[in-house]
């Protein structure tokens, strides 16, 4: 089976014996839990669209490993065209779900690990690359969701891993055996981990020799012994437990994060892709971060499309769509959103082939893309709230709206333009609230700031990639300065 349907994906999650905790209790059935299920539905869309002929070109690709048609989320980029299609696919899925659809981090991990393992093998004569490609072929053949895991808790940020008061604040190798390794530690902010079949771990920072036990990359199933998850809270998350769907804003789809604990997890050698090659940790981080910063030029733009559409519709329902300042604000929202998309396409089109054959984005432009993402969605959200008005956060509940006595007053006094149902207006206002303040704001705003690294991380790479000396030479040449 190379391509699953959305329903087959959902059913496959039931076959795991995964350990998930929420609100201090174990979740016995994560698949049908009302808080978790919307995020599963979002992942399922990556399967559903792949099976629709009109989206096949974006959502699938021909595997360079097996020659079969596979979901693009499991594909190794073989050209700049693949890189461009990735961004277009992400925008489409953002448009279809209005939330984070959770498979990007795994795809970005595949492509970064593929090229780095090849280069490790070239230097040390190891066999990580062969192991990794065998693992990826298995993932492609079974169309599995893999969560990439890079971010460690880090503890005292001023200290390297080996100097922490608690050595487990960065995930590390605690035992090396004949048949594999044992690891202990945690990964934080794990988007979609509870909805994944496997987790693919990477180091989180560049390292020195004294930190070599922390330079590790491997994959294990999400129901591996010693692995468990503490579900992360989101704003307004318990609205998913309520009856009705208006107050949820986006009732069908949602995002997900979790604190992931590795409590002495065993990893067989065939699933180990880096083991103490500390000198390659920084390269792996840089490449993964580059791919993931490219991703934001697609996914956040698609979600932005939904928010812009909701805002334009609310302006219409409020009767202000013809006001010049409303038109200007909507145009500014579009301008900012398309600028992000332009950056995502540009860093893809300017990509290049790595030694393993996998294509890498232009690192400078990918970091410019993500630095813009740390700003523009916040301005888009501000403008959406400006246009929507204060009713967005003062609406009575859906229970009041459905109440046999109170409902007629909500219906009467929250009417906008005559002829447009009050319920339609309420639904759009709740959607904007959800996307800018509620559950979806995690994926659209906070993730825009901190996902794939906080703003300073982009600035560091931009400074390194900017080639200031070359720019000086251009100026010197024009004015006749010899250097």
Q: Which of 214, 278, 296, 444 is an active site residue?
A: 296
Give me the phi and psi of 312, to 5 degrees please: -65, -40
Which residues, in sequence order, are CB contacts of 22 under 8 Å at separation 6+? 33, 35, 36, 230, 231
- Strand pairing class (352-353; 359-360): antiparallel
Distance CA 410, CA 398 (A): 10
- Tokens (6 digits) for 58: 């974006």
- Domains (range + CATH), the chain: 283-474 (1.20.140.10)
What pLDDT does residue 152 have? 98
Contact 161, 211 (CB under 8 A): yes
- Strand pairing class (198-201; 146-149): parallel
257 assigned to active site: yes
Contact 425, 417 (CB under 8 A): no
Beta bridge partners, 182, equal 175, 266
Q: Which of 174, 171, 168 is nearest to 151 (CA)?
A: 171
CA angle 207, 232, 14 (to 5 degrees): 100
Q: Please name the residue that has the structure tokens 């609100």.
A: 23
What pLDDT does residue 399 have? 98
Q: Which of 119, 198, 433, 447 is an active site residue?
A: 447
Q: Which of 383, 459, 395 is nearest to 425 (CA)?
A: 395
- Strand locations in 95-187, DSSP E? 146-149, 172-177, 180-187
What pLDDT does residue 1 have? 60
The radius of gyration of the chain from alpha carbons, rounded to an integer in Å, stands at 24
Distance CA 16, CA 472 (A): 58
Q: Please name the residue that has the structure tokens 């490609």.
A: 133
What pLDDT does residue 2 have? 78
Distance CA 450, CA 97 (A): 21
Q: Please name the residue that has the structure tokens 């409020």.
A: 318
Known binding positions: 191
Contact 279, 124 (CB under 8 A): no
347 assigned to active site: no
Q: Which of 47, 107, 109, 105 is nearest to 73 (CA)?
A: 107
What pLDDT does residue 13 have? 98
Could you please report the per-residue DSSP string of 402-420?
Answer: H-TTTHHHHHHHT--STTS
Known binding positions for FAD: 191
Provide the 8-state DSSP code for 395: P
Helix (H, G, I), strand (E, B) or coil at 353: strand
Compute how many other C-beta atoms are within 10 angstroms of the C-beta atom of residue 391. Answer: 15
- Tokens (6 digits) for 49: 């669209």
CA angle 466, 471, 477 (to 5 degrees): 165
Q: Which of 243, 394, 302, 401 is nearest to 87 (CA)?
A: 302
Could you please report the per-residue DSSP string of 238-249?
Answer: GGGGSSSSTTTS
Q: Which of 128, 198, 231, 257 is an active site residue?
A: 257
Tens-of-pLDDT digits for all 483 residues of the chain?
679 999 999 999 999 999 999 999 999 999 999 999 999 999 999 999 999 999 999 999 999 999 999 999 999 999 999 999 999 999 999 999 999 999 999 999 999 999 999 999 999 999 999 999 999 999 999 999 999 999 999 999 999 999 999 999 999 999 999 999 999 999 999 999 999 999 999 999 999 999 999 999 999 999 999 999 999 999 999 999 999 999 999 999 999 999 999 999 999 999 999 999 999 999 999 999 999 999 999 999 999 999 999 999 999 999 999 999 999 999 999 999 999 999 999 999 999 999 999 999 999 999 999 999 999 999 999 999 999 999 999 999 999 999 999 999 999 999 999 999 999 999 999 999 999 999 999 999 999 999 999 999 999 999 999 999 999 999 999 999 998
- Tokens (6 digits) for 292: 């993931």
Q: Which of 236, 299, 347, 369 is an active site residue?
A: 299
Distance CA 114, CA 136 (A): 9
Q: Which of 191, 204, 311, 354 is an active site residue?
A: 191
191 assigned to active site: yes
Give me the phi and psi of 441, to 5 degrees please: -65, -25
H or E element that contains 201: strand 198-201
Which residues, in sequence order, are CB contacts of 24 under 8 Å at separation 6+? none
- The order of strands in the sheet holding 216-221 is 146-149, 198-201, 216-221, 272-275
444 assigned to active site: no
Provide the 8-state DSSP code for 205: S
Q: Which of 84, 85, 90, 116 is nearest to 103 (CA)?
A: 90
Q: Which of 97, 100, 119, 369 is an active site residue?
A: 100
Please, what's the b/e burial string for 299-322 (b: 16 or more CB within 10 A of its CB; e: otherwise)?
A: bbbbbbbbbbebbbbbbbbbebbe
277 assigned to active site: no
299 assigned to active site: yes
**How do the residues of the chain divide into helix, strand and coil, expressed in percent and rounded to 5?**
55, 15, 30
Q: Which of 292, 311, 343, 436 is an active site residue?
A: 292
Q: Environment class of residue 223 by beta-carbon count within 10 Å: exposed (0-12), middle (13-18) or buried (19+)? A: middle
């Amino acid at each position: 089976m190379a391509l699953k349907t959305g329903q087959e994906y959902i059913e496959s999650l039931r076959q795991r014996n995964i350990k998930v905790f929420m609100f201090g209790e174990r979740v016995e059935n994560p698949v049908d839990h009302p808080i978790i299920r919307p995020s599963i539905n979002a992942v399922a869309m990556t399967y559903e669209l792949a099976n629709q002929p009109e989206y096949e070109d974006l959502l699938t690709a021909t595997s360079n490993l097996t020659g079969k048609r596979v979901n693009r989320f499991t594909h190794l980029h073989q050209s700049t065209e693949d890189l461009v299609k990735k961004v277009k696919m992400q925008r489409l899925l953002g448009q279809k779900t209005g939330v984070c659809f959770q498979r990007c981090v795994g795809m970005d991990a595949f492509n970064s690990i593929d090229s780095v393992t090849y280069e490790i093998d070239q230097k040390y004569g190891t066999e990580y690359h062969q192991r990794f490609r065998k693992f990826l072929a298995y993932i492609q053949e079974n169309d599995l969701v893999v969560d990439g895991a890079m971010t460690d808790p880090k503890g005292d940020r001023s200290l390297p891993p080996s100097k922490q008061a608690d050595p487990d604040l960065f995930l590390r190798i605690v035992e090396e055996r004949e048949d594999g390794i044992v690891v202990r530690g945690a990964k934080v902010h794990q988007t979609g981990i509870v909805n994944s079949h496997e987790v693919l771990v990477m180091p989180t920072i560049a390292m020195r020799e004294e930190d070599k036990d922390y330079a590790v990359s491997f994959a294990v199933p999400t129901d591996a012994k010693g692995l468990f998850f503490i579900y992360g809270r989101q704003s307004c998350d318990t609205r998913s437990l309520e009856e009705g769907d208006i107050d949820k804003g986006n009732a069908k789809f949602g995002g997900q994060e979790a604190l992931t604990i590795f409590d002495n997890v065993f990893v067989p050698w065939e699933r180990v892709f880096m083991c103490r090659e500390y000198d390659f940790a920084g390269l792996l981080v840089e490449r993964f971060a580059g791919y993931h910063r490219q991703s934001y030029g697609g996914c956040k733009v698609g979600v932005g499309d939904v928010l812009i559409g909701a805002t334009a519709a609310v302006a219409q329902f409020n009767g202000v769509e013809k006001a010049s300042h409303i038109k200007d604000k909507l145009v500014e929202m579009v301008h900012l959103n398309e600028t992000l998309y332009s950056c995502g396409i540009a860093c893809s089109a300017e990509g290049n082939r790595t030694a393993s054959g996998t294509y890498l984005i232009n690192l400078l432009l990918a970091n410019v893309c993500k630095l813009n993402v740390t700003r523009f969605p916040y301005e888009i959200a501000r403008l959406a709230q400006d246009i929507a008005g204060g009713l967005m956060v003062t609406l009575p509940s859906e229970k009041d709206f459905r109440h046999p006595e109170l409902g007629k007053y909500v219906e009467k006094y929250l009417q906008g333009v005559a002829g447009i149902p009050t319920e339609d207006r309420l639904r759009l206002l709740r959607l904007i609230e959800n996307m800018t303040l509620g559950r979806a704001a995690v994926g659209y705003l906070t993730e825009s700031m901190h996902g794939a690294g906080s703003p300073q991380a982009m600035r560091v790479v931009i400074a390194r990639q900017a080639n200031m000396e070359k720019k000086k030479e251009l100026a010197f040449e024009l004015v006749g300065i010899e250097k």
